[in-house]
Structure 1
Amino acid sequence: MHIHPLITDSETLAALCTRLAKADFVTVDTEFMRESTFYPELCLIQIADTNEAAAIDPMAKGIDLGPLLSLLVDNEEVLKVFHAGGQDIEIVYNLTGKTPHPLFDTQIAAMALGQGEQIGYSNLVDSWLGIVVDKGARFTDWSRRPLDARQIEYAIGDVTHLSAIFPKMLERLRKTGRGDWLDQEMERLADPSNYANDPEEAWKRVKVAGRKPDVLGRLRALAKWREIEAQGKDLPRGRIVKDETLADMAGHPPRKQADLAKVRGLSASWATNDIGARLMAALDGATPMTSDELPLRDDRKPGLGKDGSLVADLLKLLLKIRSRDIDVASKLLARSDELEALAAGVRTGLPMLEGWRFDQFGRDAVDLVEGRLGFAVKGGKLKMTRTEDAEA
């Protein structure tokens, strides 16, 4: 494989993208910093096919990333391969308003092949290629220039290894017949709504005790205000106001701006400055949440109760058995909130009741809840058994 020197000019990048546009797939990774900003600061982009690989410097003066971004979000003929690509996809979304498509995530694929729920990149490379990845540059400051040869070599290795792993992984998925299982997961990962930081939804990030409509209404207004401030200033949310301070103000709101000087976690200057005034305006405009807007109770599903919780525990046991039997990560089959919903009587709208998940797990889960399936110990192993009623 040909490894290019660090690309810092638009002409070289455009030529690379023209060649990569003819590939069946490209592997993609990014290096970024986000400790002091709201949006991740893109510092390096690595990309490869089976013939060549390169690192691109997005911080290079005058470089036009347009051809690269077009390859990622507009070219439907080239599959984009990531490993644990959520944050990489978020960066592309922030730059374009679109997500890479079509895409493939090797961490999710590894779940379908029984390699655990969140296998790390180093372990993936070791298990598929027998190569120990050098982790020395993992915590480097990618925003500093110049980057040395070791840093660039480390970064490019992320995509060259992935370009060797992906065909092997695809072949095993085909042999096991599990390739189709992943289509829905990859489409879900590519859904742009996953990466939009909607201020109206920001309150869901903040933990607050209880479900009082007035408190949650104030929390919604305050979280929206903070999200807008953080995005506008490109600062982390916690640099504006920490979550616990936001929750405290939602529960015990200051009556006037001068009271902000007494709020723990806020600067005394907020009692007279513009940002304090905007905070108070957000509080003044807060309205209590309606019953339809309130979040679900702590048990997450209405009507679950003690018996329902026991049924949910049995479903979790069934999930463990089934994931062991077919050698697939349990998280790929069903999530805990789905099991609780099924135990509470929900029978529609759950991913585990659709497609391949229903065949592999959902059908038996419903049978267990409705009394047609039970547990038995055979040969020292816990197995499932049909009840007499079901057999009849």
Structure 2
Amino acid sequence: MTVHLHHGDLPDDLDLGPVVAIDSETLGLRFRRDPLCVVQLSSGDGDAHVIQLNRPDYDCPNLKRLLTDPEVLKIFHFGRFDIGMFQLHLGVETRPVYCTKIASKLARTYTDRHGLKDVARECASVDLSKAQQSSDWGAAVLTPAQLEYAASDVLHLHAIRARLNEMLAREGRTELARACFDFLPTRAALDLAGWDEIDIFAHS
């Protein structure tokens, strides 16, 4: 594994290919309280690119271009949160997307364990460490442990997606999953507009 640290934005000449795994790190899980600090990406080749964003201006045109590129599929785990953070802080709608958490919930109906650690263990035979999950991602200098953690969250999403796609196809749920993925940016927009705690599809 090689981790490439970039400050502010992706390099101009970096081509990550047609399918990119993406995750983000923030100072917390509240949209308007907690800033977006780090975005990590992997093309599935064993390398990870970690961007330490410049706050509060978020001047990262190359990253924004990638997030909105209709020819590049972006893989997330619980994409709803990352996509919302990108809408809020970067001002872009991320499409097209694939969420391994949604795919897991549709395919792995025999369990209620759909966190990345559990999904990675079963679908990619990888045991992820979550020791740095709660750490200061706004620090001026990220530690080697933080960089390794950030990289681990995206390095295996391609393999996880491949396995979940097999399961979705076997159960006849591929199109249902795709429709859910297409709705994710709208779900994130609802979160930002104040419906984050409300299921608008519920009866009451």
Aligned to 1:6: 5
Which residue among 118, 126, 133 is the counterpart of 2:128?
A: 133
Name the % identity: 25
The one of 95, 104, 111 equivalent to 2:98 is: 104
The answer to which structure, 1 or 2, has the higher relative contact order (CA under 8 A, 6+ apart) is: 2
The residue that corresponds to 2:65 in the other structure is 70
Aligned residue in 2 for 1:164: 159
Displacement of 1:173 in angstroms is 2.1
Write out aligned runs for 1:16-95 (5 A): 16=14, 19-20=15-16, 23-34=17-28, 38-51=32-45, 52-59=47-54, 64-73=59-68, 75-95=69-89
Structure 1 residue 121 displacement after superposition? 0.9
User: Are the aligned partners of 1:45 and 1:57 in contact in 2 as well (CA < 8 Å)?
Assistant: yes
CA distance in structure 1 between the partners assigned to 2:49 and 2:18 by the alignment: 17
Aligned length in residues: 200
Give secondary structure in 2 for the equivalent of 1:132.
coil
Corresponding residue to 2:117 among 109, 113, 122? 122
Give the residue type in structure 2 aligned to 1:186.
F
Aligned-partner Cα distance in 1 for 2:33–2:55:
19
Q: How well do the aligned residues superpose, as a CA RMSD in angstroms?
A: 3.0
In structure 1, C-alpha distance between the alignment counterparts of 2:62 and 2:84, rounded to whole Å: 18
Structure 1: stretches of 5+ with no match in the other structure: 206-334, 341-392
Once the two structures are superposed, the pairs formed by residues 1-392 of structure 1 within 5 Å of their partners are 3-8=2-7, 10=9, 13-16=11-14, 19-20=15-16, 23-34=17-28, 38-51=32-45, 52-59=47-54, 64-73=59-68, 75-115=69-109, 116=111, 119-191=114-186, 193-197=189-193, 337=202
Q: Residue 33 of structure 1 contacts residue 43 of structure 1 at CA under 8 Å; is this kept in 2?
A: yes
Q: Write the distance in 1 (CA, Å) between the matches of 2:189 and 2:84.
A: 10
Q: Which amino acid aligns with 1:185?
A: C
**Residue identity opposite 1:6 in structure 2:** L
Q: Measure how far apart 1:107 and its partner are.
A: 0.8
Deviation at 1:4, TM superposition (A): 3.4
Give CA-to-partner distance per residue, 1:104-132, whole Å, 9 cap, x none. 11111111212445611111111112222
Q: Residue 13 of structure 1: SS of its match in structure 2?
A: coil
- Give the structure with the larger strand fraction: 2
Structure with the larger helix share: 1
2:41 counterpart letter in structure 1? I
Give, as a single letter, the amino acid of the residue that structure 2 aligns with 1:49. S
Contact in 2 for aligned 1:13/1:68 (Cα 8 Å): no
Q: Post-superposition shift, 1:81?
A: 0.9
Q: Return the offset for 1:39.
A: 4.1
Checking the alignment, whether the CA contact within 8 Å between 1:103 and 1:186 is kept in structure 2 is yes
Q: Equivalents in 1 of 2:91, 2:59: separation in Å?
A: 17
**Structure 1 contact 80–103 (Cα < 8 Å) conserved:** yes
Confirm or deny: 8 A CA contact 1:46 1:54 kept in the other structure: yes
Contact 2:73/2:95 (<8 A) preserved: yes
Determine if contact 1:93/1:195 at 8 Å carries over to the other structure. no
Amino acid aligned to 2:36:
L
**Native 8 Å contact 1:107 1:118 kept in 2:** no
Question: Aligned-pair distance for 1:136?
Answer: 1.4
Cα 1:36–1:25 shift into 2, 3 Å: closer
Q: Does structure 1 retain, via aligned residues, the 8 Å contact 2:40–2:49?
A: yes
TM-score (norm 1): 0.46
Contact conserved, 1:8 with 1:60, CA < 8 A, in 2?
Answer: no
| TM-superposed deviation, 1:97 | 3.6
Q: Residue 48 of structure 1 aligns to which amino acid in structure 2?
A: S
Q: Do the aligned partners of residues 86 and 14 (structure 1) sit closer, same or farther apart at CA in structure 2, a change above 3 Å counting?
A: same
C-alpha distance in 1, partners of 2:178/2:123?
Answer: 22
**C-alpha distance in 1 between matches for 2:65 and 2:145:** 29
SS at match of 2:156: helix
